[in-house]
Structure 1
Amino acid sequence: MTTQTVTSVPAYAAPAARAPLERTTISRRPVGEHDVLIEIKYAGICHSDIHQARDGWGEGTFPMVPGHEIAGIVAEVGPGVTGFAAGDRVGVGCMVDSCRTCDNCRAGLEQYCSDGPVYTYNSTDRGGETTLGGYSTHIVVDAAYTVRIPDALPLDAAAPLLCAGITLYSPLVHWKAGPGKKIAVVGLGGLGHMGVKIAHALGAEVTVLSQSLRKRDDGIRLGADHYYATSDDDTFKQLAGSFDLIISTVSAPLPLDRYLALLRTDGALVNVGAPEEPVSLNVFSLLAGRKTLAGSGIGGIRETQEMLDFCAEHGLAADIELIPADRINEAYERVLASDVRYRFVIDTATI
């Protein structure tokens, strides 16, 4: 039994691929035994939202309600929920379920579920329904895929941590960023600016590699020790063999061979940005120096909570521009023009 049922809530959806988002009404399932009903306060706009709303990666299901950077307040819990209570500050990231039984799920790597995780939107849940994301006022989520937002983090600036934060935290920790390590972050956008903050807090020496020096002052303020323009060929000559780890956050295809040449022996180039186009590679770029070309996708639920606690401890949150819902389409265009510092967040009270 539930004490409250939200079945119809306002939201913003893309009615078709590449169509402007518009206000609509969607249905949410009743609160089940292990569910939490979350009153969404803020929802970040991720570049992935734009890729999917415009069907850049294919396999889009429309109408689509994007949004996987969700921060809000628990409004109700199911009778089987013990970890959360009404009034708690919580977040939901990129996934809302997984098989829970495969090796990856049991290891806390639900994002690599062998059956594929159920994503927060544009995914098919275990009941066969298409998931609808955070550009709405409420969402019902299994408590096992809900995380607690520490009191030290403002809810609005915490929302982007549920994707941008964990997307950078996970590879930085996995590849052991810390004192004595030289780390480069490619791109200073929504993902990149969190990468700089987190890598700096971990104690690494941090370099930003950006197309131009336009954001250099920001990069230094955020924690970068160095800042170079990749449009300058001298950058690649000067920094050859410099880095233990390079994390690419950009969604444009990179000249991988040039970036691999920037790594030390046993260094890794890790992609967290996802270009729509294929990329090319000369394998000799890997053989010379036993280098690794890798990818990383978000993080598991346990690691996402660890990331939030780390950010609270170190006073880290996203740099945001808070917008009303009727400016979502404008925000999409500005993201594509790199005209945001550094994450748009929707005030869902305006939906």
Structure 2
Amino acid sequence: GGFAEVVRANATAVIPLPAGMDMKIAGPLFCGGITVFNPLVQFGIKPTDKVAVIGIGGLGHMALQFFRAWGCEVTAFSSSDVKAQEAYCLGAHHVINSTIQTELQAAAGSFDFIISTVNVSLDWSAYLATLKPKGRLHFVGATLEPLKVGVFDLLGGQKSISSSPVGAPNVIKEMLDFAVQHNIKPQIEMFPMSRINDAFAHMEKGNARYRIVLENDWK
């Protein structure tokens, strides 16, 4: 369906693009954008909340923008010092190097909400320790291994773990309108469809920054 010239769909599942939205950035918003925006709505995240984002990639770079525009105090967790300055540019107020144990320990009890956008297994107990009482660690990254979390990591502070996929059409519409109002845009790289194999190779090497958009060059 993604390469079709015409698509027939149920009207209840079709969302018009807001005026002024470039179609080139709309595609990634319908996937990664709604994935990180949906939890803001579903869990009633408040502008006064302190939130954190694990991972600065395809999902994380949009989460930083949305959370900052939502009004939250935003911290980025990253294992790369190279991405620290980029995280600030994307909206982070603070950056914590997650490979430095003392930095994680110093953040104990800091966050109301943490969103994990990575697909690798981490020391989840260490991240749970950075939550405030009744804080939530929420997964949108498809971590492949089973989560290694002890009940006592949750029990004492009544902390929660949750996950979500994308979002309902009404939330997608809200997300698109919010993105236009706050000038939130995914970082994209354009490839012509005739070079689709090059695009896949670029992505599989981990070089995409941060979403690849294909442009039709077929006559």
Q: Pick the TM interval, shorter chain.
A: over 0.9
Cα distance in 2 for residues equivalent to 1:307 and 1:341:
22
In structure 1, stretches of 5+ residues that fail to align are 1-132
Higher strand residue share: 1
Question: What percentage of residue pairs aligned between the two structures are identical?
Answer: 38
Which one has more relative contact order, counting CA pairs under 8 Å at least 6 apart?
2
Higher helix residue share: 2
1:156 aligns with 2:27: no
Contact 2:191 2:215 in 1 (8 A): yes
1:228 aligns with 2:100: no
| 3-state secondary structure, aligned to 1:302 | helix
User: Counterpart in 1 of 2:211?
Assistant: 343
Aligned match for 1:280, one of 129, 148, 154 = 148
User: Counterpart in 2 of 1:189?
Assistant: 57
Amino acid at match of 2:169: I
| 3-state secondary structure, aligned to 2:7 | strand
TM-score, normalization by structure 2 = 0.93
User: Counterpart in 1 of 2:7?
Assistant: 139
Cα distance in 2 for residues equivalent to 1:344 and 1:168:
18
| 3-state secondary structure, aligned to 1:217 | helix
User: Counterpart in 1 of 2:36?
Assistant: 168
Superposition deviation, residue 266 in structure 1:
0.5
1:124-177 CA-to-partner distances (Å, cap 9, x unmatched) read xxxxxxxxx314443222221111111221110121000111111110222333
Cα distance in 1 for residues equivalent to 2:137 and 2:218:
41
User: Counterpart in 1 of 2:165?
Assistant: 297
Aligned match for 2:178, one of 310, 313, 331 = 310
Cα distance in 1 for residues equivalent to 2:104 and 2:204:
26
1:324-344 CA-to-partner distances (Å, cap 9, x unmatched) read 124333333433443222211
| 3-state secondary structure, aligned to 2:9 | strand
Contact 1:196 1:219 in 2 (8 A): yes
Cα distance in 2 for residues equivalent to 1:335 and 1:176:
34
Contact 1:175 1:245 in 2 (8 A): no
Superposition deviation, residue 288 in structure 1:
2.0
User: Counterpart in 2 of 1:267?
Assistant: 135
**Runs of 4+ with deviation above 6 angstroms:** none
1:54-89 CA-to-partner distances (Å, cap 9, x unmatched) read xxxxxxxxxxxxxxxxxxxxxxxxxxxxxxxxxxxx
In structure 2, stretches of 5+ residues that fail to align are none
Contact 2:96 2:104 in 1 (8 A): no
Superposition deviation, residue 350 in structure 1:
4.3
Cα distance in 2 for residues equivalent to 1:245 and 1:337:
31
Cα distance in 1 for residues equivalent to 2:36 and 2:195:
27
TM-score, normalization by structure 1 = 0.59
Contact 1:166 1:304 in 2 (8 A): yes
Structural mapping, 1:246-265, within 5 Å: 246-265=114-133
Asked which structure has the greater CA Rg, the reply is 1
Cα distance, 1:309–1:261 mapped onto 2, change above 3 Å: same
